[in-house]
Amino acid sequence: MNLQEFIEHFEAFVTFIEEAWEQKDLEILKAIISDCKDFIHTKGHQFKCYSADSKTWQKLFDRNRQTRAELSKGMCEWCGEKKGVHCHHLAKRGRLVLYNDVRLLRILCADCHRLFHS
């Protein structure tokens, strides 16, 4: 798999995740996220452009967390009823910068964050 194919597959996962998120189908969403996480983990390491040292990773995460918080206007992106206080990594946390892609982060209230970890 070359870089262009990897990017196309990743973008397809993002599209599927966004569609499942809009439908609020947690079961389907978790299945797609699991597949996305496996894809990133098994294929992403071969592309050095997606690796980051801890300082770079933290800067990217901080910037994307702030962007996500602005998009959510401070509210939980799942229930929309409570203040969003947690930044949840949909695909997991790891050294690959794709895990910090703003489209794979969500601002959640504590109750909804627990829902995603159950």
Question: In this predicted structure, what is the pLDDT of residue 54?
Answer: 82
Distance in angstroms (rounded) separating the CA atoms of residues 107 and 17: 15
Q: Count Cβ atoms below 10 Å from residue 28 Cβ, excluding itself.
A: 15
Asked whether the beta carbons of 52 and 60 are under 8 A apart, the reply is yes
Cα angle 23, 37, 40 (rounded to 5 degrees) comes to: 125
Question: In this predicted structure, what is the pLDDT of residue 27?
Answer: 94
Question: In this predicted structure, what is the pLDDT of residue 92?
Answer: 81
Ranges of each domain in the chain: 3-116
pLDDT digits (tens, 9 = 90+) for 24-76: 999 999 999 999 999 988 888 788 767 778 888 889 899 999 999 999 999 99
Distance in angstroms (rounded) separating the CA atoms of residues 80 and 82: 6
Question: In this predicted structure, what is the pLDDT of residue 45?
Answer: 79
Compute CA 29 distance to the chain's CA centroid, rounded to the nearest angstrom.
12
pLDDT digits (tens, 9 = 90+) for 72-114: 999 999 999 999 899 999 988 777 788 889 999 999 999 999 9
Question: In this predicted structure, what is the pLDDT of residue 99?
Answer: 86
The pTM (predicted TM-score) of the whole model is 0.89
